[in-house]
Structure formats: structure tokens, C-alpha cells
Amino acid sequence: MSRRTHRPALLAALALTVSLVAHGEHSLAQAAATRAHVAALASEAGEGRLTGSEGERRSGDYIISQLRRIGALPLLGATDYRSSFQFTSGARDGGSTIAVSSSRPGIAAQSFGSRAEVQALSFSDDGSVSGPVVFAGYGIVVPGSQDYAYDSYASLDVKDKIVLVLRYFPESAEPKAKSLLARYAALRYKALVARQRGAKALLVVAGPHSPNAGETIPMSFDTAIAGSGIVAASISASVAGALFAGTDRSLEAAQRALDTGDPHAAGFDLPGVSAIVKTAVVREKREAANVLAYLPASAPGPASEKPWIALGAHYDHLGRGEAGNSLAGKGEAGRIHYGADDNASGTAAVLSAGEALAAQPRKRNVLLAFWSGEEFGLLGSAAFVAAPPVALDQMVAYLNFDMVGRMQDNKLIVQATGTSPAWPRMLEQANVPAGFDLALQEDPYQPTDVASFNQAGVPSLNFYTGAHADYHRPSDTADKINYEDLDRVAGFAAGIARRIADLDRAPAFVKVEEKTLNRPSRAGMRIYTGTIPDYAAQVKGLLLSGVIGGGPADKAGLQKGDLIVEIAGQTITNIYDYTYALEVLRVDVPAKVVYVRAGERKETLLTPAVRK
């Protein structure tokens, strides 16, 4: 992101930052220790703290002001509290085109190039392809594991051809079938299906009976920004009309036949029709920053074994929901997602715990970490672990806080307790004065930053007070936080951190094995392979950031750093391909996995398990 700013805009930004800081410092003297932090971070000035945004930068300024206030210092060797990293923030169409021609007499060739006529899909590969065009209905294939026969390609040969499909799914199918078809109607899945059958390109059109009829699909942010291995674009009704012009059929009639959900309603060739499709996708890079500080060890005596303890929370959120992971309801679109619980509450807890620790002697250095990019796939904590400014083998423990502001019935959930045998007793002892109804969960494979440190072999804990209806919506506001309990969580965490900091011997790390069920139930059953993807990687395939101990991938010999490129005959180019490939796997039936390790292509057999 460019840092060049016009003077009026710069002055306005500085004024907002000063106001943010001043409000926080004033409130700290008046109210609960955490209240001012949440109010400042989940404010209009923060604008939802989207990764890499100006609102997130202002929020980082506020955090830095509080770190300075409690005497926390930049990390050794650093001149600033910020630790920057680059990420892919989105994509835009760089000028995609399509040219349509027909071998039938009297049909003129037509070319289209405006975004209203043709637009690359965000996951498209860049490229130029040509070939005959085939209409494949809705482009949906339901895996055999679902016991429902529906295959848009059943009677079609699409190898080396351009496939045209309808957006969405059959509108008039009976409810049960419609629900199942909708599950396999994602555009990425349609692209995967076409690619697996040898198609050169995928074109998508919203049919005349569909929502957004005839409109191209806006380029949207795709968090797994890797391409799909195929040229893919959406086209308008006018382009679709040109494709059907040289045939005796119409798109409207074809959609009407397909909309009943009849699995026997088939696609068809468009005789004599060919196209040249060119897609250009510009990946946009931006910069974000973790905020890192430390409290130096201050207690007299010899240096401790593993002299660092870390407390962390992500401070980013969803901005106005533009990144695609918003759960905003009707009438909420485009509004600020304040993220008071997710995760101004966790950020406040770390600041408050840090302030308590700063006031007491410490046998270990205390790292206070505030991650950016968590909402895009743990980007900030992953960047830290990939190039740690503090040696990870010198870290005694990591405590993470994510959504700790909406406690119900005095219940505090502590996750990742299986990462060290020291945790259960220590938590029990620390809870005597705190009095929480603790729910201990051994599993460290959580969708938050604790997962990054678990993969690095650091004993970890994650604090969480549970989900609620305001999650990822603009209604997650500061007035709904239970500040009294949030203060208690911060105090509890500070007490645990003090206990850890005073230990002579570091807690042992344990790699937690995933527990599976021997007898699956159809209700809630899902295939699992025990792989942990690297969501930040931009590679062709699925890069593993780790495997679950004792899980299928571990037993198959897969390990951190392996790049999966094929499973069960399905080519894997990204996380979405891998997710969809799981649909063809069967519990307890070995599947061939092709992967690359240190540049060498290898194969193994992975036997999927099942878990609830």
C-alpha cells in the first residue's frame, strides 16, 4: 500500500489517531481496564480494521501508544513496534476479452471486451485459449458418495473445448435436491469439474431465470488467491446470445428444462460455434503489520530456561465486509464491522494483562504480540513463525486470546490444553481465586493464531468465551461486551503468565493427536485427512504447514512442507481443489496422494478417517 498522502488527508488521519489515543487514555482512568481499549479499537475511526487498511493502521497506532504507556519496548534490533509483511489483498480484471465465431453462413463474428460483457473470475488463470464451445447446463457434478445421481457432463465430451455453464443451480428442484445441488454450485467447484474433464476454459452466465440475470460477476476478493488451473470468466447475456446465435436452441429454453433438477436434462454441443477467450487477472499486493513489543526480564537471578513467554491476539477484522467473509444480513451490507468481540476483546485482554505484568518483577521476557491478517488465514502469526524475530525454541509458552468478551454463565473455554501436560494443573490452581467454570479442550487445531505456534512446537493455550449471533456482522459492537468478565479473563491470564514466567523448567511440548470415531454416524459425518494447509502460500498445489499427530496424513508419511498436487486422481492446484477432492474419498478406503518434497515427486496411500 502506498504511504503517499495529500496533506489534508494526512492531517485528518493524524487528528483521528490523536482523538483515538486521547479517548483511550482518558477512559482508562474512568472505567474498567479493558473498556477503553475495546471502545477505541471498535470505533468509527477504526473502520473495521481490515488488514492493510488505514483504519487498521490507526488501530495499530493506538496499540503502540498503550504499549509505550506501560513501558513495553520494541523487540531487540527493531527500531519500530511494527513488523510488516506483504499479502495478496485482492484481484481486478486487467482487460479480459472474448471473440465468438460460427461456421454457419450468415453468422457474423463478434468480439467483446467491456467488463459489462466479460470479466475474469477472481480465481482464473491468466491465458488465451481457443476452441469449440459446449454447453454443460449448470456445470454441477454431485459425487457418488452423496447417493444422488447428477452429472452435467454425463453425455458430453469437453476435452480441449470451452465449456459454458449457468451460474447458481436448478431453481425449481424439489427442496432436498436443491439443497444438495447448491452445495456443489460454487464457481470454484464448477471450474475444478471442468478442468478435471479436460476443458480449456470455463464461461459462466447468469441465465434469464436466475438472480442477476445476464450480468457479469464482479471481481471479488478470494482469500485463497491461487489460480484454479483453468481460464475462467463470466459473460453477459449478450455474449451468451452470440454463442447461441449459430444454433437452433436458446439459453432460456435450455435453462427451463434444467431448472426442474431432472438429472436426465443434459447439456449439448453448440455446433460450429468457437471462441477465443483471453483472461487477465491482476493480483493486488498490500502491506500489513503485526505490532510487537516486549517487557524485559527484571527479576534478579540466573537466566531462565527458554527465557521468553508470549501473549498474543489478532487486532484485524473485516472492515466493511468487502473481503467476502462477512455474515451481514439484509440491510447491513457495506456497514462497518466493528469487531468488538472479534477481536478487540482479545487485544484488550493482552494489553490489560501486559499492564499487570509490567508492574511486577519478571524472570522471563514477555512478548506482547498483536497480529494482523488473522481473518485472511492467520497471515500475521504465520509470517512471525516463518521468520521469527524471537527464536521459537527460546519460547516457553504462547497464550492466545480470540473472542473473550461475551462470556455466558461464567464459562471460559481454554483450548489447546493438550499441548503440554503442565496445563491442566496450572489452570486449576490459577482458577481458585478466579472462579471460572472452565471448559478445557485439548485440541490445538483451532481457526485462530494458536495454530501457528502449535505447529512450531510451542506449548500454547487459547482463551475463548464462545460464539454468538453477532459474529462477523456489523452488530458486533462495544456496547455488547461484558467488561467485568473481560477484566477477569485478562487478570486470570496475567496470573497464568506469571506462573509460567516463574517456572524453573519449561513445560514440555506434546504433539496432540486428533481423536477419531470408529463407527461413523451419517448425521454430521465428515471425511478428514489430518492435513493442515498453509493458507498464505501462493503455489500450485496444497502446501502443508503441518499434519495432525496420529491422523491419516501423519500415518501416510506426509509432513510439514510437502506440496500435495494430486489426490484420488484429482489434480490439486489450491486449497479449494483439495476441499472438493475430499468429496470423492471414502472412509477407510486408501487413496493415492501425489506430493512434492524437496523438489522430488513422491506418492503415498492415505486412508481417510471420519470425525464429528
Q: What is the pLDDT of residues 125-184, one digit of tens each?
A: 999 999 999 999 999 998 876 778 899 999 899 999 999 999 999 978 888 788 788 878
- The predicted pLDDT at position 324 comes to 63
pLDDT in tens, 196-251: 999 999 999 999 998 889 999 888 655 445 678 899 999 999 999 999 997 889 99
User: What is residue 354's predicted lDDT score, i.e. its pLDDT?
Assistant: 97
Q: In this structure, how many other beta carbons lie within 10 angstroms of the beta carbon of residue 10? A: 12
The beta-strand segments (E) located in 68-226 are: 82-93, 97-102, 110-112, 118-120, 127-135, 162-166, 201-205
User: In this model, does residue 514 exceed pLDDT 90?
Assistant: no
Long-range Cβ contact pairs of 581-590 (< 8 A, separation 24 or more): 582/527, 582/529, 582/608, 583/143, 583/145, 583/146, 583/184, 583/527, 584/143, 584/144, 584/145, 585/145, 585/527, 585/529, 586/145, 586/527, 587/520, 587/527
Nine-digit cell at 6?
495529500
- State what percent of residues in the chain have pLDDT above 70: 90
Give the dihedral of Cα atoms 25, 26, 32, 37; nearest 10 deg: -40
- Which of the following CATH numbers is that of domain 7-87+288-501: 3.40.47.10, 3.40.50.1820, 3.40.630.10, 2.40.50.140? 3.40.630.10
Q: Confidence class of residue 325 from pLDDT cuts 50, 70 and 90?
A: confident
| 351-355, 412-416, 495-499, 547-551: range with lowest mean pLDDT | 547-551
Average pLDDT over residues 337-345: 97
Q: pTM surpassing 0.75?
A: no
Q: Per-residue pLDDT tens for 90-110?
A: 788 999 999 999 998 889 999
Quick check: helix, strand or coil at residue 369?
strand
DSSP 8-state class, residue 166: E
**How high is the pLDDT of residue 335?**
95
- Which one-letter DSSP state was computed for residue 73? B
- Cα 256 → chain centroid: 37
The DSSP code for 410 is T
Q: Residue 447 in 3-state DSSP?
A: coil
pLDDT score of 461: 98
Task: Give Cβ neighbours of residue 549 (< 8 Å, ≥ 6 apart).
Answer: 511, 512, 513, 514
Q: Give the CATH fold of the 526-611 domain.
A: Pdz3 Domain (2.30.42)
Reported as type and span, the H/E element at residue 113 is none
The answer to which of 9-23, 361-375, 394-408, 418-432 has the lowest mean pLDDT is 9-23
The label of the residue with cell 489426490 reads 567
Which amino acid is located at 250 in the chain? S
Task: Kindly list the domain boundaries of the chain, sorted by start residue.
Answer: 7-87+288-501, 95-279, 526-611
- Size of the chain in residues: 612
What strands lie across the sheet with 82-93, from one edge to the other? 82-93, 281-295, 365-371, 308-314, 395-401, 460-464, 411-415, 437-441
Q: How far is CA 168 from CA 40, 237, 260, 434, in A?
A: 41, 15, 13, 52
Q: Which pLDDT does position 521 carry in this prediction? A: 31
91, amino acid identity: A
Once rounded to an integer, what is the mean pLDDT over residues 543-566?
90
- Find all residues with CB under 8 Å of 148, minimum gap 6, and list them: 142, 177, 180
Residue 443's H or E segment, with its range, is none
Whether the per-residue pLDDT at 10 is higher than 70: the answer is no
Q: Please, what is the angle between helix 423-434 and helix 483-501, to 10°?
A: 130
Q: Are strands 563-567 and 591-597 parallel, antiparallel or unpaired?
A: antiparallel
Instruction: List, in sequence order, the alpha helices (H) in 210-273.
Output: 237-244, 251-258
> Residue 342 pLDDT > 80, yes or no?
yes
User: Strand, helix or coil at 142?
Assistant: coil
Calculate the average pLDDT of the chain. Answer: 87
**Amino acid letter, residue 298:** S
116 with 294: CB under 8 angstroms?
A: no
Specify which residues 563 forms β-bridges with: 543, 596
User: What is the CATH code for 95-279?
Assistant: 3.50.30.30
414, burial (CB in 10 Å: exposed 0-12, middle 13-18, buried 19+): buried
178-to-154, 169, 171, 175, 213 alpha-carbon distances in Å: 19, 8, 7, 5, 19
Q: CA-to-CA distance for 268 and 273, rounded, in angstroms?
A: 12
Helices (H), 274-422: 346-358, 379-386
| Helix, strand, coil % in the chain, rounded to nearest 5 | 30, 25, 45
